Amino acid sequence: MDNIEQLVASLSKEASAVKPAPHPFMLSLQWTIAAAIYLAVSLAISGLRPELLEKLHNPWLLAEIAALLGLFIVTTLSAALLAFPDLHQKRVLAFAPVVPAVIFLFVILLAWQADTPPAPLPVHSFQCTLSITLMTLLPALWTFYSMRKFASTHYRLAGSVALLSAFSVGALWLRLHEVNDSILHVVEWHYLPMLAIGLLGLWLGKLLLKW
């Protein structure tokens, strides 16, 4: 008990005025704006796919991009909440990425079914995964760096969600840049690696967000 009293005394002596962390909604808004700027700059440099406007008449491509955008927004919000020890007492929102993930999966399945006759596969393959991963690096670094300033008690999940959020920026960029209509290629080289990235995030979260 004496030790605890001593500790309380020394901690209270150290206590100076502290600036509270920003609200997670503001935090996720900052991250979203930063990601939007990054995406816009990347697309300005690499260029949009030339027939994008025409292709956006395809409802399945539009639904896919909207679902991916939804996944990005909700994972960003969830990552911001998961950075707080008590999830800012918004537990339901913190675990909300399940919903856009299911919607996304559903959209991809329907788009796959609608792809008849199947569009020809592009000649490249793993280059897409590599490009998305490279595009993901900067947002991932930025998100992890910001999250380390807080105190996550769900560090594995936080790492996974943060990496999924960053990866969806990369996936969005490639979908708007690459001339490709094959949903099979997209599933194989764009979205399946997303699962691996999610698992990698569990490990990275433990490594980088533990405090």
Partner 1 sequence: MRQSLAGDQRAYATLLTETTRLLRPFLSKRLRFSNEVDDLLQEILLSIHKARHTYDGKRPYKPWAYAIAKFRLLDHLRAHYSDQLRHAIDFDELEENLHEHVTESEMSYESISGEVQKLPEKQALILQLMHQEGYTAKEVAEKIGMNESAVKVAAHRAYKVLRERLER
Distance (Å, rounded) from C-alpha 133 to C-alpha 42? 14
Catalogue the E-assigned strands of the chain.
none
**Sites for partner 1 among residues 152-171 (CB under 8 A):** 153
Q: Could you say whether residue 87 binds partner 1 (CB under 8 A)?
A: yes
Q: Could you say whether residue 92 binds partner 1 (CB under 8 A)?
A: no
Q: Could you say whether residue 20 binds partner 1 (CB under 8 A)?
A: yes
Tell the burial category of 79 from Cβ atoms under 10 Å away from its Cβ (0-12, 13-18, 19+).
buried
Q: Could you say whether residue 4 binds partner 1 (CB under 8 A)?
A: yes
Residue 48 tokens read as 């949009």
Backbone angles phi, psi at 115, to 5 degrees: -80, 65
| Residue 131 CA to its chain's centroid (Å) | 16
From the CB of residue 16, how many other CB atoms can be counted at a distance below 10 Å? 5
The single residue among 68, 74, 88, 101 that binds partner 1, judged by CB under 8 A, is 88
Q: Which span (6-14, 95-103, 134-142, 165-173) binds partner 1, by CB under 8 A? A: 6-14
The single residue among 40, 86, 134, 203 that binds partner 1, judged by CB under 8 A, is 86
The single residue among 1, 44, 53, 123 that binds partner 1, judged by CB under 8 A, is 1
Query: Where do contacts with partner 1 occur on this chain (CB under 8 A)?
Result: 1, 3-4, 7-9, 11-21, 23, 83-89, 150-151, 153, 211
